[in-house]
Structure 1
């Protein structure tokens, strides 16, 4: 019975922690709140929850931040861990856990009625039954511990990732770990859109003015971060801005002006173009060795 209690306790811990989602200011208390709700659940109910959200078939999808229930005025976050299985393995695992539930109920409600503990043979038979039951329960417990260990290691890997420079580059700058990106997703283009919109709306504004605002508000967003030599290159390649050169007088040098590019509907029959961006950075050893 102790092993069954250990199984139930571990299962409740897993179910309380394998998913979190919602506004970031609510995340810290979610596991404790979920644990409180799970505290009164039977083993059968816990098993149903297990196969409804954690042990799932391959291809399982679960929307953790549905649009109609996610507030738009606060930052939200979601993460979930799954143990996916092919249909045959999943069916076998479900059956094994259901047998554990049935065994638990048998031990709790029918053990004394099943064996005559008033004589030696009845006690011997009961001991043999309990030893066999322990092995069956322990097999499921070790399986559950394996899932917990896998989830723990995945959480460690995720924590390491979100603290890495590569993840921060992806999150804030739109640069993938291999160095590739689409201009529309980059931090520099998002910041440029904001500054141009703030300074001029849909009208033209001098690029020098935009650059001054970028330096003041987004000093880390530079063309060089995105493998570009100039601001004009970023503006032109992104496809999100119009760029033209003007003179203040006939003798003055031309200076660049920029505006947000108006949306242009796709012409009938025209193919949708691939979003502009940069491909992966060639590994250093490939650059050294050259083509084989």
Structure 2
């Protein structure tokens, strides 16, 4: 407890920053869930004359924009995770609990690579990436929190640690050829080159943009 006393304000400040960073990530993840659920609900059932399908789809997209996360979850479970009457009756006869069917269905969906790409890595089915909550950006931020020097982190140090600790997180997974391209495409970081006096080569360093600036850069992309 001594480390949290007023005699050591730097330790308390570091803890506050850690809490703020993790809380911010949780909020971004919730926003990502909401965006994905709105897309799933809006496209779950599109029916009508062929000439009006696009208009019907656009209307459904607009309709779900005003819904809360809880409402979206309810609509999704009522449609996607509800068996037909025959299956529901059979499930209840066998187990006495039709709810188990829904949980089993959800578990099977969560075990798929597509689910991991969407919810863990921010990769949409069409290959586009929701960079602020992507796995690659999360890894870069985690490395930054470990190896930053005066606010800047050497990219080579960060990527070596990512390869060791998160071997599944590679630039190619996000359609990029290098970690420098990830930093450029994500628009979540600032980057600079600095000469190494020992070998005479330039080294790439990065740091997170302020939240407001990162959001603006993402909106402009």
TM-score between the two structures when normalised by the length of structure 2: 0.51
| Match in the other structure for 2:203 | 255
RMSD: 4.1
Deviation sequence 1:35-86 (CA, Å, 0-9, x none): xxxxxxxxxxxxxxxxxxxxxxx9886839xxxxxxxxxxxx9997337xxx
Determine which structure has the larger strand proportion and give its number: 1
Structure 1: distance between partners of 2:220 and 2:133: 10
Alignment of 1:209 with 2:162, yes or no, is no
Structure 1: distance between partners of 2:195 and 2:219: 32
Which of 61, 68, 77 is residue 81 of structure 1 equivalent to?
77
CA shift for structure 1 position 239? 1.4
Deviation sequence 1:115-151 (CA, Å, 0-9, x none): xxxxxxxxxxxxxxxxxxxxxxxxxxxxx94693698
| Match in the other structure for 1:231 | 179
Alignment of 1:243 with 2:183, yes or no, is no
Equivalent residues in 2 for 1:68-217 (5 A)?
81-82=77-78, 145=85, 148=88, 158-200=106-148, 203-217=151-165
Deviation sequence 1:160-181 (CA, Å, 0-9, x none): 3222111121122111222222
Change (3 A) 1:236 1:216: same
Ranges in structure 2 where 5+ consecutive residues have no aligned partner: 1-62, 92-97
CA shift for structure 1 position 243? 0.8
Count of paired positions? 144
CA shift for structure 1 position 218? 0.9
The structure number with the bigger radius of gyration is 1
CA shift for structure 1 position 212? 1.4
| Match in the other structure for 2:43 | none
TM-score between the two structures when normalised by the length of structure 1: 0.40
If asked which structure has higher relative contact order (CA below 8 Å, sep 6+), I would say 1
